[in-house]
Amino acid sequence: MGKDFMVTSESVTEGHPDKLCDKISDAIVDNYLLQDPFARVRVQCALSSAIVFIAARHRSKAVVDLSHVARKVIRDVGFDQKEFDANACSILTSSQDKPPEKKYEFDETKLSDEEIDQFPVRNQVSLFGFACDQTPNFMPLPIYLAHKLTHRIDHVRHSGLIDYLGPEATVQVGVEYRERIPHRIHTVVINASQKNNAEIDEKRLQEDIQEIVIEPIFAEEELKPFLKTRIFINPNGRVKGGPAYHSGLAGRKNAIDTYGEYCRHSGKALSGKDPIRIDRIGAYAARHAAKNIVAAGLAKECEIMLSYSMGLTKPVTFNIETFGTGKYADNEIETLVKDHFDFRLGGILKKLTLRHLPANRSGVFYQNLSTYGHMGRTDLDLPWEKTDTAALLQ
């Protein structure tokens, strides 16, 4: 991107079929790690009208009822109508159970540097971490606003402020940039579904979304919509949402999970994987480092690229790009980061204690990441969102 451009980012609510699949997958990961923090588990989920497919591969002493977990998630999200009902939908599961791997049963908090070097990664991946100073949570403004709007939609639905909304909604926010600085809100598009038994006039829905969702969110923001901002609410008429109308698959919303297409992201899914998977936790570690760089005032924007190769401990590629906003040369910042951050698998586990978070959070952690993004969350106490190294970098 040059200096003047426009970026449109999308976010979806918890009832979007793809996000529902992510939530089910991560709820299963949570349940395994709650019982057994050393569990190795990978879960894939797909769903369509009245049916859910779950495939799980696990090495663990834990016992998890996949169907029970899935039904609870579907019920909590709010699918209780005949088109897709948590109690009535069919759930097909395929579970591959293998013996636990003793080599991963260790206390990461006590690992020495030599011991960390004994744990190579088992997956190949190139991934990215990013941060910028556009918003209080160091995220690009378009995805920041899109997530705030979808979070608000889910809140007003669950609280009854707009009780006729269905579980699925999609939000797009377009922001125009000048000199790489947010200049104006160009577009806000919201497509919100209704419950099938609700006969609500489209004008009323548009007014409710405008007054109860959009206006309260932008009241808190410095950059607000103005007369030329294009605001569309259900521009194509009534929206029918949920698995009864389109299918879902876990891992299909990488841009929503990360930075909203403002910068690069890995093609690897984040949800449905235990914390030994480097393609998941490496993205968290890269975000942690990039955020601390910006928080320390070393750059206004920072993208970190890491590439891992199977059988090796350290990233084979480590690159920092500050897009001309760095206080120092990129290679100087890169050296500083290498001195203060450990991107080895064992080092990431030791710093962020990712395997123990479900047990420390009453059994619910990773599933909370499935909606509104894995990065930039201020509603969750995430270890990779802490700016605990900023002072050292300064």
**Helix, strand or coil, per DSSP, at residue 175:** strand
Tell me the average pLDDT across 6-33.
Answer: 98
Q: What is the pLDDT at residue 2? A: 75
Residue 116 has a pLDDT of 93
* Distance from C-alpha of 299 to C-alpha of 75, rounded to nearest angstrom: 44
Q: What is the pTM of this model?
A: 0.96
Instruction: Report how far residue 308's alpha carbon sits from residue 48's, in angstroms, rounded to the nearest whole number.
Output: 35
Which two structure tokens, joined as six digits, stand for 204?
């009323």
Question: What pLDDT digit, counting tens, does each position of 285-332 carry?
Answer: 999 999 999 999 999 999 999 999 999 999 999 999 999 999 999 999
* Alpha helices (runs of H) in 301-356, residue ranges in sequence order: 330-340, 345-352
User: What whole-number distance in Å separates Cα of residue 64 and Cα of residue 54?
Assistant: 13
| 286/348 Cα distance (integer angstroms) | 10
Which one-letter DSSP state was computed for residue 196? Answer: T
The answer to whether 164 and 156 have CB atoms below 8 angstroms apart is no
Q: Among 44-53, 140-149, 192-201, 338-347, whose mean pLDDT is lowest? A: 192-201
- With cut-offs at 50, 70 and 90, classify the pLDDT of residue 83: confident
State the Cα–Cα distance between residues 284 and 388, nearest whole angstrom.
15
Cα distance between residue 270 and residue 174, in whole Å: 25
pLDDT the model gives residue 103: 85
Q: State residue 267's pLDDT score.
A: 84
| Structural domains of the chain sorted by starting position, each given as residue range(s) with its CATH number in brackets | 5-11+141-241 (3.30.300.10), 18-103 (3.30.300.10), 109-134+253-268+277-393 (3.30.300.10)
Among 14-18, 81-85, 389-393, the range scoring the smallest mean pLDDT is 81-85
C-alpha closest to that of 150 among 19, 315, 328, 13: 13
Could you give the C-alpha distances from 112 to 118, 321, 346, in angstroms and in order? Answer: 10, 31, 10
CB atoms near residue 50 (< 10 Å): 14
Rounded to 10 deg, the angle between the 330-340 and 278-295 helix axes is: 120
Closest C-alpha among 163, 167, 168 to residue 198:
163
